[in-house]
A and B are shown apart, each in its own frame.
Chain A
Amino acid sequence: MELFTNQVLAGIATGAIYACMALAVVMIYQAIDHLNFAQGEMAMFSTFISWQLMQWGIPYWWAFLATLIISFVGGIAIERLLFKPLAKAPVLTNVAGFIALFAIVNSVAGLIWDFTIKQYPTPFGSSPFLGSQLISTHQAGMIGVTVLLLILLFLFFQYTRIGLAMRAAASLPESARLVGINTSWMIALGWGMASAIGAIAGILIAPVVFLEPNMMGGVLIYGFAAAVLGGLSSPLGAVVGGFLVGVFENLAGTYIPGVGNELKLPIALALIITVLVVKPAGLLGRPIVKRV
């Protein structure tokens, strides 16, 4: 029983990271109807920036904050320079854009910081949380920061005018323009926020997976699985999906014979395919209905 509780709690901790990545993916998907394959690489790059700031002697939380701001601005810059010009281009052109972004960010990170694996600090420590062996303080910290982030995002989208404008622009761009919303900038803002959310995910998971240019590959696939499971049209679904995938991954690794650590990733892919076949809209997403 203790093994089970332990695995569930650890799953919730990594699930928090998947939830963040899924949320970042969904935010951009809502804005431009494309999946950002480079979301993980952007998060990795942000994590490296925070690491570099700390190497220069800046304390953890200041580096954290500075990285969020840099990532936010960077996300906006990427949208303005690369994806705004592609707004009316066919799907495949956009996919090529994302793959290019993926490759560029990955190589540039390797060029600047090389591909050796680096230790990444945690401000929470890794002792048992509240004296319990079930979960470490860092895992508790991951959950805590994510929950705080989710609450802030909820308040932002529900109770601020700019949040309302962003929701309107994502749901009906033409109507949004007709009430005077600059939808193009709302998309850019979505990119900035997605980039900053990804940075949080990267920074929180780095002490676990260690820092290197390919650190987010697996995490992003789980993030995609979470987004698909919860429904790409539903931010809440993405979050729920993230936690479910995290728990599912851990339980499958522990209890299904032969799965172990090596086969965890194919399980995420199998989950994506299963959801797409059985319930394409996801748990909380709205089915896409086209009028004919």
Chain B
Amino acid sequence: MTAMLNVKDLRAYYGQVQALHGLSFALNEGSLTTLLGANGAGKTTTLRAICNMVRSTGAIEFEGKSLSGKSTENVVRLGIAHVPQGRGTFTTMTVEENLQLGAISRSDSKNIVSDIERMYAHFPVLKERHTQQAGTLSGGEQQMLAVARALMLRPRLMLLDEPSFGLAPLIVRDLFKILGKINREDKVTILVVEQNAQLALELADQAYVIETGRIVMSGDAKDIATNEDVRKSYLGY
């Protein structure tokens, strides 16, 4: 089975500082993969490098096409939705405008209305608040909106950067349940970066552990979750 996303020898730099030191990994189509690691390990940088938001070298292939040299917006237009850290909500716009923006690069404008309705079915709270300014939503609601906005692209691959950040545990559980559903029902391949390793391993089927810019462990999420050594050394629980 060929991988949907293939990353080889990825190195990324912030100015003179090298943040990734030759990272390689692959995502299978339809999989739900988590990228784990401590603060500063390079998780966010990996996602940013895929979308060309940071200077990097190495090969990144998405469905057989090389992403190197492509601008962020053109990477997105290939069907890669990125929910950034901090959610990237357009706070001064309404909830509905945020959803419309998610679909702004699509040319099939007649399906957008029904897709917005589909998002409201996934996230009923967004329907209640669809005319509200997005900045007035709670943190959990904004994270739902960020996921919904990303889905409006009808992505083939969705990258999520610490979706649990700053949310109450119950809300995180809800959110992860929805992510699992999206992965199964909408056939969206998902790569989720998390610090909440326990929860992410429950959700995912594949896992990579990253430390100071290198992959140090990979395998089935179940195996990694049950491996005492890995848990103690890298995941800290």
Contacts and interface: CB of A to CB of B under 8 A. Distances in A.
Nearest to A165: B104
A180 B90 contact: no
A154 to B, nearest CB: 15
B92 A179 contact: no
A164 B101 contact: yes
A14 B37 CA distance: 62
Contacts of B77: 180
B84 A179 contact: no
B196 interface: no
A165 B84 CA distance: 19
A178 B97 contact: no
Contact of B51 (A168, A172, A178): A178
Contact of B97 (A164, A176, A177, A180): A164
Nearest to B77: A180
A174 B90 contact: no
Contacts of A183: 73
A252 B225 CA distance: 76
A178 B104 contact: no
The winner among B71, B77, B89, B101 for most chain A CB atoms within 10 A is: B101
Contact of B90 (A171, A177, A182): A171
Interface string A177-217: 11111110000000000000000000000000000000000
Contacts of B92: 171
Given A164-B104, A165-B104, A179-B149, A172 B72 contact: no
A177 B73 CA distance: 5
B27 interface: no
B7 to A, nearest CB: 19
A180 B53 contact: no
Contact of A165 (B82, B88, B101): B101
A84 interface: no
A172 B90 CA distance: 7
A161 interface: yes
A261 interface: no
Q: 4 nearest interchain CB pairs?
A: A180-B105, A175-B88, A180-B76, A177-B72
Interface of A: 161, 164-165, 167-168, 171-172, 174-183
Given A165-B104, A177-B53, 4 more contacts: A178-B84, A179-B101, A179-B105, A180-B77
18 contacts: A161-B100, A164-B100, A165-B101, A167-B93, A168-B104, A171-B92, A171-B93, A172-B90, A175-B88, A175-B89, A176-B101, A179-B104, A179-B153, A180-B73, A180-B77, A180-B105, A182-B73, A183-B73
